[in-house]
Structure 1
Amino acid sequence: MCSDMYNFGVVQRKSNRENITPHRISVVLLIKEFCSLKLKSRSDQVLELDEGGFYCLGPCHKRDFCILVLKLIQCPDLELNELQELLQTDKFQLLPQHLKTFNTQLQQLYDNGVGSVLDLMQNVKQLMVEPSTVLPVVHKTSVIGLYLRRILVFFDKMSFSQVVLMYKAYQKYFERSNPKKSVVKCKDDSINSGQEVEMSLCDVSIPLPDCEEYSHEIETVTSVKNESDRTFWSRRQAELFIAQQASLIQSNEMAALSPPHLQEKIKDLLQANPEYAEAHYLTYLNCLRAKEFCGAVNSLFHCFDRNTLTAEKISNQEERNKGYRYAALNLAMLYAQFGYKKEANVALKEAVMLAQDVNDNICLQYVLAWLYKLSDENKEILMERSISKSSDLNLSYLTSLGIQSFAQYAGATGGKPALVFDLLMKSDVLNCQHSMIDLLTNSYAQKAALWCLYGKSDMVSLCSQLLLHLNTANPAQGIVSYNGEGTCQAICNVINVLVEQGEYHIASLIIGYARECFPHEPTSHSWIFSGEILNFTEAMHNGKWQEAEQAIAQLVAIDRWESQLRKAELYLARGNYPCAAACVYSVLDYCRLHAEDEFMCSSVHVRALILTAELQCCSATAASSPAGAISLLTTALALAQLHFLDYLSAIVGLHFANVQLQMGLASQALKLVNDSLLVILSHGGYFDQGRALLLYAKCRVASASSQNDENRKPVILEAVQILQKARNAFLKVEAYSRMKDVLYLLALLYNELGYVAERKKCALEFRQWDEQHPTKIATTLLTRL
Structure 2
Amino acid sequence: MASVHESLYFNPMMTNGVVHANIFGIKDWVTPYKIAVLVLLHEMSTTKPMALLDRRRLNKLILPLQQGPDLTLEQFLKIVEECCLRMVNAVKLRLLLMADGELQDMEHFFTILPNAFSDSEAFKTSVVGLFMRQMLLAYNKLSFSQYLASLGIQSLVKQGAKQGMPANKLLDALRGTDIMHWKQSLSELIEISLAQTTSIWRMYGKSTMARQQAQLLLNMNSLEPVNFSVQQNNTEAFAVALCHLADLHAEQGLYAVVSDIMKHLKQQFPPHTQHAKLWMLCDLKIQFEKAMNDGKYHLAEPHVTAISALNSTEGLYRKAQLLKALNQTSEASKILQQLQQQCEKSKNIEMTIRVMLASAELHWDSSGFATALPLLLQALSLSRQHNLQRLTSETLLHLAFTQLMLGIPEQALVLVQDVLESVLAHGSLIDKGRALLLAARCQMALAGAAAQEHRLTALEQAVHTLDEAAVYFSQLDCKERMRDIHYLQARLHHTLGNIAQRNKCSMLFRLLDQELPSSGMTVVSHL
TM-score bracket relative to the smaller structure: 0.7 to 0.9
1:420 partnered with 2:170: yes
1:42-81 equivalent positions in 2, closer than 5 A = none
Distance 1:641 1:548 in 2: 32
**Cα displacement (A) at 1:522:** 3.4
| 1:456 corresponds to | 206
Distance 1:766 1:463 in 2: 42
1:544 partnered with 2:296: yes
| 1:410 corresponds to | 160
| 1:487 corresponds to | 238
Distance 2:237 2:466 in 1: 40
Distance 1:631 1:338 in 2: 36
Q: Is residue 689–residue 729 contact of structure 1 (8 Å, CA) maintained in 2?
A: yes
**Cα displacement (A) at 1:436:** 2.1
The one of 382, 386, 397 aligned to 2:147: 397
| 1:701 corresponds to | 444
> Match of 2:147, SS?
helix
| 2:93 corresponds to | 349
Q: Is residue 565–residue 584 contact of structure 1 (8 Å, CA) maintained in 2?
A: yes
The one of 340, 351, 356 aligned to 2:76: 340
Distance 1:446 1:679, change over 3 A: same
1:244 partnered with 2:40: no
Distance 1:6 1:431, change over 3 A: closer
| 1:680 corresponds to | 423
Sequence identity percentage: 31
With structure 2 as the length reference, what TM-score do the two structures score? Answer: 0.77
| 2:362 partner amino acid | L
**Cα displacement (A) at 1:704:** 2.1
Distance 1:363 1:526 in 2: 33
| 2:129 corresponds to | none
**Cα displacement (A) at 1:474:** 2.8
1:628 partnered with 2:409: no
Uncovered stretches (5+) of structure 2, i.e. residues with no partner: 1-12, 46-62, 81-87, 112-142
Distance 2:256 2:491 in 1: 35
1:619 partnered with 2:366: yes
| 2:299 partner amino acid | E
> Match of 2:27, SS?
helix
| 2:325 corresponds to | 573
1:751-766 equivalent positions in 2, closer than 5 A = 751-766=494-509
1:531 partnered with 2:283: yes
Q: Is residue 543–residue 776 contact of structure 1 (8 Å, CA) maintained in 2?
A: no
1:663 partnered with 2:411: no
| 1:169 corresponds to | none
Distance 1:395 1:571, change over 3 A: same
Distance 1:615 1:529 in 2: 26
1:436 partnered with 2:158: no
1:264-663 equivalent positions in 2, closer than 5 A = 336=72, 339-341=75-77, 343=80, 346-350=90-94, 361-364=105-108, 395-474=145-224, 480-483=230-233, 484-519=235-270, 520-595=272-347, 600=348, 602-619=349-366, 625-663=368-406
> Match of 1:397, SS?
coil
Distance 1:3 1:693, change over 3 A: closer
Distance 1:509 1:643 in 2: 34
**Cα displacement (A) at 1:586:** 1.4
Distance 1:333 1:512 in 2: 23
**Cα displacement (A) at 1:362:** 4.1
> Match of 1:435, SS?
coil
Q: Deviations over 1:267-306 (max 9, x none)?
A: xxxxxxxxxxxxxxxxx99xxxxxxxxxx989x97xx99x
> Match of 1:739, SS?
helix
Distance 2:260 2:96 in 1: 48
Distance 1:489 1:469 in 2: 14
Q: Deviations over 1:684-725 (max 9, x none)?
A: 111111111100001011112122333111111111111111
| 1:110 corresponds to | none
| 1:641 partner amino acid | R
Distance 1:334 1:594, change over 3 A: closer
Distance 1:666 1:364, change over 3 A: farther
Distance 1:435 1:531, change over 3 A: same
Distance 1:352 1:648 in 2: 36
| 1:105 corresponds to | none
Q: Is residue 19–residue 188 contact of structure 2 (8 Å, CA) maintained in 1?
A: no
> Match of 1:719, SS?
helix
**Cα displacement (A) at 1:472:** 3.1
Distance 1:362 1:776, change over 3 A: same
Distance 2:414 2:242 in 1: 38
Q: Is residue 20–residue 27 contact of structure 2 (8 Å, CA) maintained in 1?
A: no
| 2:525 partner amino acid | T
Distance 1:555 1:454, change over 3 A: same
Task: Name the larger-Rg structure.
Answer: 1
> Match of 1:246, SS?
strand
**Cα displacement (A) at 1:544:** 1.8
Q: Is residue 225–residue 231 contact of structure 2 (8 Å, CA) maintained in 1?
A: no
With structure 1 as the length reference, what TM-score do the two structures score? Answer: 0.53
Q: Is residue 167–residue 201 contact of structure 2 (8 Å, CA) maintained in 1?
A: no
Q: Deviations over 1:483-536 (max 9, x none)?
A: 211111111111001111112232122111101101244321211111001110
Q: Is residue 98–residue 105 contact of structure 2 (8 Å, CA) maintained in 1?
A: no
**Cα displacement (A) at 1:728:** 1.7
| 1:671 partner amino acid | V
| 1:201 corresponds to | none
> Match of 1:781, SS?
coil
Distance 1:555 1:479, change over 3 A: farther
> Match of 1:470, SS?
coil
The one of 709, 724, 740 aligned to 2:467: 724
**Cα displacement (A) at 1:331:** 11
Q: Is residue 727–residue 739 contact of structure 1 (8 Å, CA) maintained in 2?
A: yes
> Match of 2:223, SS?
coil
The one of 451, 457, 475 aligned to 1:714: 457
| 1:689 corresponds to | 432
Distance 1:430 1:348 in 2: 33
> Match of 2:472, SS?
helix
**Cα displacement (A) at 1:418:** 2.3
Q: Is residue 370–residue 406 contact of structure 2 (8 Å, CA) maintained in 1?
A: no
Distance 1:698 1:432, change over 3 A: same
Uncovered stretches (5+) of structure 1, i.e. residues with no partner: 8-239, 252-283, 286-295, 306-326, 368-392
Moved more, 517-526 or 347-356: 347-356
| 1:756 partner amino acid | I
Q: Is residue 19–residue 30 contact of structure 2 (8 Å, CA) maintained in 1?
A: no
**Cα displacement (A) at 1:582:** 1.4
**Cα displacement (A) at 1:337:** 6.3
Distance 2:70 2:245 in 1: 31
Q: Deviations over 1:630-688 (max 9, x none)?
A: 00000000000000011111111111111111111011111111111111111111111
**Cα displacement (A) at 1:612:** 0.8
RMSD: 3.6
Q: Is residue 438–residue 482 contact of structure 1 (8 Å, CA) maintained in 2?
A: no
**Cα displacement (A) at 1:562:** 1.8
Distance 1:476 1:334 in 2: 22
| 1:511 partner amino acid | M
Distance 1:353 1:664 in 2: 60
Distance 2:482 2:295 in 1: 13
The one of 504, 518, 527 aligned to 1:776: 518
